[in-house]
Copies of this chain bind each other. A is one copy, B any other.
Amino acid sequence: MDAHAQLVPPVPHVSSGPALELEALVFDVFGTLVDWRSSLIEDLTAFGAERGIVADWPAFVDAWRGAYAPSMDRVRHGEQPWTSLDALHRASFTRLATQYGFENALDEAGRRWCVDRWHRLRPWPDTVAGLRRLRTRYLLGTLSNGNVRLLADLAKSARLPMDVILSAELFRHYKPDPEVYRGAIDLLGAEPRRVMLVAAHNSDLQAAAQQGMRTAFVARPFEYGPDQQKDQVADPGIEFNVRDLGELADRLGA
């Protein structure tokens, strides 16, 4: 009977051994799990072709992503009240579309479609298989600056195996503010050392380590295109340094 098969034997199962020390893995999403750059270039190129809009779409996408940190920093530094990433993406899209000279060619539905592409990004080739393995042993969550709806749509469309969607939006603070990591630890009801952040960005991992979380760097050397310089290797002190999520699953016994 199913119910019996699922009944854990009534034996105390408080984690004690080193094998059980880690309970949950939380993942940065943009760049770490999904390839935002190739996905957006592909989608916006298709959009431009259909709408007859000529633009340097790779440059546009890089500029759009380039607006990400400064726009969040305005929120982080209190110059702007809490604003979701969807709203920040929309504002920067509109500004850039004006700058690139095609804002007048857009209608509301087209503008929404473009901003909504962040909800439909595609995973890196190792992402889904790696998460599937890790999920057999650990609780998996996102921990991203994307808002909850964006992340839920993205996890669904990219088929990312996840147990919980944790987002900066829940804490009204953007990474790397400490409130985000502390908030995630609190919602997971776990000691910090039982939670690991997996990310392709050293600054994110450093901020997590400062809150006592464990850390894994996954290399995404072409996240920003062929000329990327940053985040090629893990900073000293990062606990795991892996080339993909398959290697992380190997290392964590999943």
Residues of A near any B CB (own CB < 8 A):
2-3, 6-8, 10-14, 38-39, 42-43, 46-47, 50-51, 84, 86, 107-110, 112-113, 116, 120, 122, 139, 141, 147-149, 152-153, 155-158, 163-165, 169-170, 187-190
Contact between chains at A10 and B170 (CB < 8 Å): no
CA separation between A231 and B43, bound complex, in Å? Answer: 49
CA separation between A163 and B14, bound complex, in Å? Answer: 29
Among B122, B163, B170, B188, the residue within 8 A (CB) of A2 is B122
Among B8, B149, B157, B188, the residue within 8 A (CB) of A148 is B188
CA separation between A156 and B7, bound complex, in Å? Answer: 14
Copies in the complex: 2
Q: A10-B50, A107-B12 are in contact. Are A42 and B148 (CB under 8 A)?
A: no
A6: nearest chain-B partner, CB-CB: B122
Contact between chains at B6 and A157 (CB < 8 Å): yes
Among B7, B149, B155, the residue within 8 A (CB) of A189 is B149
A139: nearest chain-B partner, CB-CB: B152
CA separation between A7 and B120, bound complex, in Å? Answer: 8
CA separation between A157 and B3, bound complex, in Å? Answer: 11
Most chain B Cβ neighbours within 10 Å, of A38, A152, A158: A152
Contact between chains at B189 and A86 (CB < 8 Å): yes
CA separation between A109 and B116, bound complex, in Å? Answer: 47
7 contacts between A and B (CB under 8 A): A3-B42, A6-B120, A7-B120, A10-B50, A147-B189, A149-B188, A170-B187
CA separation between A8 and B42, bound complex, in Å? Answer: 11
A184: nearest chain-B partner, CB-CB: B148
A57 to chain B, nearest CB (A): 12
CA separation between A42 and B170, bound complex, in Å? Answer: 36
CA separation between A169 and B39, bound complex, in Å? Answer: 35
A48 to chain B, nearest CB (A): 9
Which residues of B sit under 8 angstroms from A147, Cβ to Cβ? 187, 189
A99 to chain B, nearest CB (A): 21
A51: nearest chain-B partner, CB-CB: B10
Contact between chains at B43 and A7 (CB < 8 Å): yes
